[in-house]
Amino acid sequence: MLNIPLMKNNILPEDIEALVTFLRTEDRLTNGPKVVEFEKAWSEWLGVKHSLFVNSGASANLITMAVIRDLYGPGEVIVPPITWSSDITSVFAAGLTPVFADVNVSNMAMDEEEIISHLSENTRAVFLTHVLGFNGLSQRLLEELKARNIPLIEDVCESHGASMGGKKCGTFGLASNFSFYYAHHMSTIEGGMICTDDDGFYQMCRMYRSHGMVRELTDENMKREYAEKHPDLRPEFLFAVPGYNMRSTELNAVMGLSQLPRLDANNARRVENLKLFISHLDPEKYFTDFAMEGAVNYAFVVLLCHPSEEKFQALTDMLRAENVEFRRGTAGGGNMARQPFVRQRMPGFNPASLKNADIIHFYGLYTGNYPTLEKEKILGLCECLNSL
């Protein structure tokens, strides 16, 4: 049996050691100096001015959409059907309206023509997901959004280190979101990051992360203005926005600081693994024409070229027999427009109109690609796949 889990060894003994050492020496474990240190290290790694550590990628999504609503007002957000639930939930939660744009198969991100065709005077943002390590952006899309003055938010939760033209994904838009969940490129157990070069956006996120409180602002002028505007309220308990408590802890930041120095080397291994996988797949049977430039995947995408229910069943039977863990429809949920929480809120929308998303939903899956995945197992997996 091949025995390939989705992820392996993403938390190492040295990470646990770092945690234990920290616990032995510190008694303040809530959001503090280690969080700030991790945020700074992450900003440097990514190449942005500000990073804000939160307790999950979903929290990063929720805060980001809340700030978009506050800064740009109610309206529509262009969203992908191939993403995680929180990318859509966050739009609903902010009182914004999701507008689905279909994806293209080569990078599974929203197709640029689809996005552009859905832009209107009601568009408040484009919320693009870089799916499973593939860059989802194009220069043309960036230029079009800039010309129309529409903010781009990048969800990079599945794509740490992916790039376009040598520049990291997560640095192109107004803001970006990352996740450090166990099965991702690196892990803080649970965790997420909001990144931006925009001072005002960052200050808003700071308040949203912590109950909406003005005292979280690091901009002293903003703090003073709020205090002067509300003389009836105590400045240290001034709640300016309808915020959440989405702070993380020092422990998660210690994990992040221990993991980050390994990220680039791990990603290089993942890229090698993916190239080996794609080059040994039978292109007559499986889609291999992926947008590989700048891709850094923790997954091998398996997509049937000539889909049928029987072939997909044979594929999943083989993977189960070989004990190869997999997720259908990429992240698991497939075409998000098919999920009940979307159907309830968008009863008039036909999910089947998202044709490429449906191909991935019904005939696509991914298996794990982790740094220590052995070459023989990758070749063995290709052999099993090609024999079907």
Ligand X SMILES: Cc1ncc(COP(=O)(O)O)c(C=O)c1O
Binding site for ligand X (CB under 6 A): 56-58, 61, 83-84, 86-87, 129, 155, 157-158, 179, 181, 192, 331
Place of tokens 């506050």: 70
The nearer residue to ligand X, 153 or 214, going by C-beta atoms, is 153
CB of 337 to ligand X, least distance (A): 15
CB of 370 to ligand X, least distance (A): 15
Give the DSSP letter of residue 111: P
The nearer residue to ligand X, 58 or 65, going by C-beta atoms, is 58
The nearer residue to ligand X, 137 or 382, going by C-beta atoms, is 137
CB of 236 to ligand X, least distance (A): 30
The nearer residue to ligand X, 15 or 203, going by C-beta atoms, is 15
Taking Cα atoms as reference points, which of 219, 214, 220, 217 lies closest to residue 234? 214
Q: Could you tell me the two tokens for 170?
A: 């997560």
Taking Cα atoms as reference points, which of 189, 195, 182, 157 lies closest to residue 64? 195
The nearer residue to ligand X, 58 or 315, going by C-beta atoms, is 58
Rounded-to-integer distance, Cα 90 and Cα 256, Å: 25
The nearer residue to ligand X, 152 or 222, going by C-beta atoms, is 152
CB of 175 to ligand X, least distance (A): 14
The nearer residue to ligand X, 178 or 287, going by C-beta atoms, is 178
Residue 299, strand partner residues: 368
CB of 59 to ligand X, least distance (A): 7
Rounded-to-integer distance, Cα 79 and Cα 181, Å: 22
Q: How far is CA 324 from the centre of its chain?
A: 24
b/e per residue 323-348 (b: at least 16 CB within 10 A):
ebebbbbbbebbbbbbbeebeeebee
Taking Cα atoms as reference points, which of 206, 365, 185, 385 lies closest to residue 269? 185
CB of 38 to ligand X, least distance (A): 15
CB of 131 to ligand X, least distance (A): 7
CB of 371 to ligand X, least distance (A): 19
The nearer residue to ligand X, 58 or 359, going by C-beta atoms, is 58
Residues 6 or more apart from 24 whose CB is under 8 A from it? none
Q: Could you tell me the two tokens for 145?
A: 């959004």
CB of 336 to ligand X, least distance (A): 10
Rounded-to-integer distance, Cα 222 and Cα 218, Å: 8
The nearer residue to ligand X, 127 or 277, going by C-beta atoms, is 127
Rounded-to-integer distance, Cα 86 and Cα 60, Å: 9
Q: What are phi and psi of 317, to 5 degrees?
A: -60, -45
The nearer residue to ligand X, 85 or 288, going by C-beta atoms, is 85
User: Closest residue (Cβ) to ligand X?
Assistant: 57
CB of 186 to ligand X, least distance (A): 12
DSSP 314-380: HHHHHHHHTTB-EEETTTTT-BGGGSHHHHHH-TT--GGG-HHHHHHHHHEEEEE--TT--HHHHHH
Rounded-to-integer distance, Cα 363 and Cα 330, Å: 10
